[in-house]
Amino acid sequence: MLFKKYIFAVSILTFLISGCSNSPSIIVKSGSGEQTVTANAGKNFSIQLEAQLSTGYSWKLFAAPSSLITVKEIVKTEEKDKTINEDKVGGIEIQEFIFKSMEKGELTLTFKYGEHWKKNPQYVKTSVVKVRIE
């Protein structure tokens, strides 16, 4: 009886761990310009864009279809900058946008880089990512 409970507990734990580890399947590291990627329907994919957030500039998603779900947005600090100086102003960060689309098809994501906090921001870069969902 104890062995059956053990097997059941291990099965549930395995199921939970595999369900929670839905890591992004595609990572696009882009500055400006246009790129094309392929992702699977129902799976997360990630777009990473280099930014200098301490200067007031950041990336913002401007155009995306309603079928796309934004899972989360996170900021990562470049490891090479961390080894030089923890508080380096103007260092490079990575803005990571994680998405999921349940529908197959093609979509276009447009990101703009600028000072979004200003009343009339000017954008200095645009990054367009075309995504084919299979």
- Tens digits of residue pLDDT in 24-76: 655 666 555 678 889 999 999 999 998 889 889 999 999 788 889 999 999 98
pLDDT of residue 19: 45
- Does residue 107 surpass a pLDDT of 90? yes
The residue among 7, 59, 64, 57 whose CA lies nearest residue 31 is: 59
| Interior angle at CA 106, CA 62 and CA 47, nearest 5 | 50
Domain presence at residue 16: no
Kindly state the average pLDDT of the residues 69-97. Answer: 74
Domain presence at residue 98: yes
Domain count, the chain: 1
Q: Where are the beta strands (DSSP E) in the chain?
A: 27-30, 33-39, 44-51, 58-63, 68-77, 93-101, 105-114, 123-133
d(CA 44, CA 99): 5
CATH number for the domain that contains residue 40: 2.60.40.2020
- Between the two ends of the chain, the Cα-to-Cα distance in Å is 45
Q: What is the residue-averaged pLDDT of the chain?
A: 78
Domain presence at residue 53: yes
Domain presence at residue 121: yes
| Interior angle at CA 117, CA 91 and CA 84, nearest 5 | 10
Neighbours of 83 (CB within 10 A): 8
- Does residue 17 surpass a pLDDT of 50? no
pLDDT of residue 31: 58
pLDDT of residue 110: 92
Helices (H), 21-130: 79-84
d(CA 78, CA 96): 12
Domain presence at residue 11: no
- Cα distances (angstroms) measured from residue 43 to each of 25, 66, 95, 100, 110: 7, 16, 20, 6, 20
Domain presence at residue 3: no
- Does residue 85 surpass a pLDDT of 70? no
Domain presence at residue 117: yes
- Which structural domain range is residue 56 located in? 22-133
